[in-house]
Amino acid sequence: MVQEIRPDLFLIEVPLPNSPLKSLNAYVVRSDQRNLVIDTGLNRTECYDALTAGLKALDVDLNRTDFFITHLHADHFGLVSRLKTDTSRVFFNRPDAEIIEMRGGWEPMFQAAARNGFPERLLRSALEQHPGYKFGSEWVPELKLLNDGDRVEVGDYHFQCVQTPGHTVGHTCLYEPDKKLFVAGDHILIDITPNIQCWSDTEDPLARYMESLDRVYALDIELVLPGHRRLIDDSRARITALKEHHEKRCAEIMAILDGAEMNAYAVAARMSWDIRCDSWEDFPVAQKWFATGEAIAHLRYLEGQGNIQHLKQDGFSTFKSSSN
């Protein structure tokens, strides 16, 4: 599906088979000189066929097209290596690029998951079912790294980079102040909440995410172009709802930990999730992975606020309320 949003600004809906996200919103800015594609989809045939068909319908010449990727996740980054040409520039953020360049691959996340109670017998299966592992980019093209505040000019559109860490460490959105448009990637979504995961004992991604929401709240925005689902015409109401969601999550975790000490995997098993399963044991292993990562993010946030204690013994982590 191709939808015109504004003059020379289009949305191409890219299917994400077997994903609760359903589809990716790839945006295309068309101009007489250079075109810009914002986010691409997973590196799989269904995504490639849909995106290239949409680009063909818009008469977009890939030899005159650049790419802006909001963040490193495969449903946004995965196809860019198949689409770029020798003349294409691929705009990306520096913090996420540094993660891609780090040696070790998935191993640090494996180790963090094990420390937080994720059963080792499920770790390999979790990796094999993870879309980022199955449908990631074939190779990483040369990236033109942009910083917060840098500009991306395409025809009549004059975008500013707004770095919004949280969903990833370097997640970057595009803001067009004259047209009051905000290309949000996975920073702000409607109907669903961006997944904030943590696989670190030192980072606090949820705190960074809440700060990023406050920063975007201050911008004059008429229309949000998210990475998934419907466009959003009231950014501040949605930001308020997202912050309330995470506050409720934190309250739920505090209730779970009331008088108890447990690891993140056990906390995740007791949290409420919008998934059609009768019990935690019925969750697909990939969803257990995402849920555990989100539980850790909220536990780290509560730890940073002094509400809970993080206990480490024999290489394993548990948490308990500071008032216990």
Convert the pLDDT of each residue in 86-123 to its tens digit: 999 999 999 999 988 775 567 788 889 999 999 988 87
pTM summary value: 0.94
**What is the rounded average pLDDT of the residues 262-286?**
92
- Give me the CATH code for the 2-308 domain, please: 3.60.15.10
Convert the pLDDT of each residue in 129-177 to its tens digit: 667 666 677 668 899 999 999 999 999 999 999 999 999 999 999 999 9
Convert the pLDDT of each residue in 57-74 to its tens digit: 999 999 999 999 999 999
HEC string of the chain equals: CEEEEECCEEEEEEECCCCCCCEEEEEEECCCCCEEEECCCCCCHHHHHHHHHHHHHCCCCHHHEEEECCCCCHHHHCCHHHHCCCCCCEEEEHHHHHHHHCCCCCHHHHHHHHHCCCCHHHHHHHHHHCHHHHCCCCCCCCCEEECCCCEEEECCEEEEEEECCCCCCCCEEEEECCCCEEEEECCCCCCCCCCCCCCCCCCCHHHHHHHHHHHHHCCCCCEEEECCCCCECCHHHHHHHHHHHHHHHHHHHHHHCCCCEECHHHHHHHCCCCCCCCCHHHCCHHHHHHHHHHHHHHHHHHHHCCCEEEEEECCEEEEEECCC
